[in-house]
Amino acid sequence: MSKICLICGKKPAAGRTIERRGLAKKKGGVGKKITGITIRRFLPNLQTVRAVINGQVKRIRVCAKCLKAGKVIKA
């Protein structure tokens, strides 16, 4: 199963983590230096829920935002 919300279509987003070293200028250092950037994924908060779809009860993957908003009719 893919990591996509069945209601709103939310899916993983790409981002970066930045690694730094050194002491900040504010704290008396020479400043922070970037030593590495790696790509990471922000995954949606998906929950497996039994919901009514077209009059039938099915298991679907829905993000927590859609659940809280009441967009899903639970079985």
> Is there a domain that residue 7 lies in?
no
pLDDT tens digits, 26-70? 999 999 999 999 999 999 999 999 999 999 999 999 999 999 999
The residue segments making up the domain with residue 28 are: 13-69
Task: Please give the single-letter amino acid code of residue 18.
Answer: I
pTM of the predicted structure, to 2 decimals: 0.75
pLDDT tens digits, 7-23? 999 999 999 999 999 99
> Is there a domain that residue 40 lies in?
yes
Phi-psi region of 27 (alpha: psi -120 to 50; beta: other; left: phi over 0): alpha
pLDDT score at 49: 96
pLDDT score at 38: 97
Count of the separate structural domains present in the chain? 1
pLDDT score of 1 more than 90? no
Helix (H, G, I), strand (E, B) or coil at 49: strand
> Is there a domain that residue 75 lies in?
no
> Is there a domain that residue 1 lies in?
no
